[in-house]
């Protein structure tokens, strides 16, 4: 039917209309294939719009949640779905966007190096330009990912130790001032009153545990005796001779 209608197709070429427009670059692409190509461009444009107006995909530590939210929002609008099929996937969205961003930056750099005049800017060009600016901004404000130096590690360790251990002294504690040393524990930790209270709490807990174990042992013993008496009574009912002092 396609050949009768003027369409031809080969493994290496898309279907096109055979006729006077067979010259390279002037072939009429089959409407179905053109529609699929436009859907691909439209999908990229919608992803680009969402990313450019949100910007969270460039924030440090927010990429995963941002992509999930954007793709869920686009799928809820059923932008890419045709007859209930074709929902966008997160991996597809990220791949299309990253490939497009890389290609746009390379093309812009090539034109700048070659001194070519910039073509008329389209909506997609404007969105790509905004995404490049957002990426550069967040990269400049992103925390350093390299390994901190020894001095930074030592300073960070000292700050943490001061925050953890330099707590205010208790009224009943020692009146000695806290030594400005990150490894010096405040004297309040070793106060006799606190040490005595800790020992007393530990003894009380051990006494409660021992009492609970003793109660459980007595209950198990009573249960065993009751079971034995019940079995002796059953044996007597069945005619077995059981002494009274057994």
Other residues' Cβ atoms within 10 Å of the Cβ of residue 58: 21
pLDDT digits (tens, 9 = 90+) for 36-73: 566 677 788 888 888 888 888 887 777 788 888 888 88
Instruction: Please give the torsion angle defined by the CA atoms of residues 53, 135, 121 and 112, in that order, rounded to the nearest 10 degrees.
Output: 180
Give the start-to-end residue ranges of the domains of the chain.
7-140, 176-246
User: What average pLDDT is seen over the chain?
Assistant: 70
Residue 85, pLDDT score: 63
Residue 160 contacts residue 82 (beta carbons within 8 Å): no
Distance CA 118, CA 128 (A): 14
Residue 58 contacts residue 138 (beta carbons within 8 Å): yes
The residue whose two tokens read 């073509």 is 119
Residue 17, pLDDT score: 42
Other residues' Cβ atoms within 10 Å of the Cβ of residue 71: 20
In the Cβ-directed half-sphere of 171, how many Cα atoms lie within 13 Å?
0
Least confident residue range of 40-49, 181-190, 195-204: 181-190
Beta bridge partners of 7: 17
Distance CA 33, CA 2 (A): 14
pLDDT digits (tens, 9 = 90+) for 2-32: 444 433 444 444 444 444 444 444 445 555 5
The residue whose two tokens read 């750099």 is 109
pTM to 2 decimal places: 0.42
Distance CA 172, CA 185 (A): 17
Burial of 168 (0-12, 13-18, 19+ CB in 10 A): exposed
**Residue 148 confidence (pLDDT) above 70:** no
Crossing angle between the packed helical segments 63-76 and 90-114, to the nearest 10 degrees: 110
Residue 227, pLDDT score: 87
Residue 230, pLDDT score: 85
Distance CA 24, CA 81 (A): 33
- For residue 145, what are the CA distances in angstroms to 57, 61, 94, 136, 155? 18, 12, 22, 16, 18
Residue 10, pLDDT score: 42
- Average confidence (pLDDT) over 98-123: 82
Residue 120, pLDDT score: 77
Q: Which is nearest to 73 in space by CA: 47, 100, 45, 112?
A: 47
pLDDT digits (tens, 9 = 90+) for 206-236: 888 888 999 999 998 998 888 888 888 888 8
DSSP code, position 12 = T
Residue 134, pLDDT score: 82
Q: Phi/psi of residue 234, each to 5°?
A: -65, -40
**176-183: long-range pairs with CB below 8 Å, 24+:** 182/157, 182/158
Question: Percent of the chain scored above 70 by pLDDT?
Answer: 57
Residue 158, pLDDT score: 63
């Amino acid at each position: 039917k396609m050949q009768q209608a003027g369409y031809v197709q080969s493994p290496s070429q898309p279907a096109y209309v055979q006729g006077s427009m067979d010259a390279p670059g002037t072939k009429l692409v089959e409407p179905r294939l053109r529609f699929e190509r436009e859907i691909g461009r439209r999908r990229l444009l919608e992803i680009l719009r969402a990313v450019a107006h949100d910007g969270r995909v460039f924030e440090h530590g927010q990429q995963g949640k941002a992509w999930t939210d954007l793709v869920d929002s686009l799928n809820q609008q059923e932008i890419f779905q045709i007859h209930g099929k074709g929902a966008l996937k997160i991996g597809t969205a990220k791949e299309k966007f990253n490939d497009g961003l890389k290609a746009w930056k390379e093309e812009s750099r090539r034109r700048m190096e070659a001194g070519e005049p910039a073509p008329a800017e389209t909506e997609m060009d404007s969105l790509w330009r905004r995404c490049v600016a957002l990426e550069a901004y967040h990269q400049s404000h992103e925390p350093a990912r390299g390994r901190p130096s020894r001095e930074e590690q030592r300073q960070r360790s000292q700050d943490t130790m001061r925050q953890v251990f330099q707590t205010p002294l208790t009224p009943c504690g020692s009146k000695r001032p806290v030594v400005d040393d990150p490894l010096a524990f405040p004297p309040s930790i070793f106060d006799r009153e606190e040490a005595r209270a800790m020992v007393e709490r530990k003894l009380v807990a051990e006494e409660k545990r021992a009492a609970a174990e003793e109660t459980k042992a007595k209950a198990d013993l009573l249960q065993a005796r009751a079971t034995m008496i019940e079995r002796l009574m059953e044996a007597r009912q069945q005619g077995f001779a059981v002494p009274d002092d057994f």
